[in-house]
Amino acid sequence: MLTIQPGAAGAVAADTKRAVTAIDAALLCDTQLMVTIIEALQESDLPIKRSQDLLQSMTTGINHVMAGRAAMVGTIAKLTAIKGQSNIAPVNYGCPAGLGFMESQVTEIASVETVPA
């Protein structure tokens, strides 16, 4: 069994929630900017090639944020699996908003991954 200090685990949980909130805020900001750009383009005479390049660049950026969010989901799953194999397994630190489904997947993840002691 892994030994984890409850205070350290609480700090990790709090920082994880803040990170998810920050990623979602970045995604919201990027998508709002995309809408604003599209609205501005509708009122401009920018050639389609230039607007396509601009929108493609924004889409690439949004896709990178989404990839980072997906990676965070994977990190949270690993953290949850480690917690489940430790002395703090019964402690509930809560899940970042929208990630409550992961509690039901902990057993599946923990059985697939081996965490060295």
Domain ranges for the chain:
10-112
Q: For position 106, what pLDDT does the model report? A: 43
Q: For position 93, what pLDDT does the model report? A: 85
Q: For position 37, what pLDDT does the model report? A: 98
CB 2 within 8 A of CB 113: no
Please give the Cα distance from 81 to 46 (Å, whole number). Answer: 51
Q: For position 100, what pLDDT does the model report? A: 56
Q: For position 49, what pLDDT does the model report? A: 97
Q: For position 94, what pLDDT does the model report? A: 81
Q: For position 108, what pLDDT does the model report? A: 43
The pTM (predicted TM-score) of the whole model is 0.76
Q: Which residues of the chain have pLDDT under 50?
A: 101, 103-117
Please give the Cα distance from 109 to 117 (Å, whole number). Answer: 17
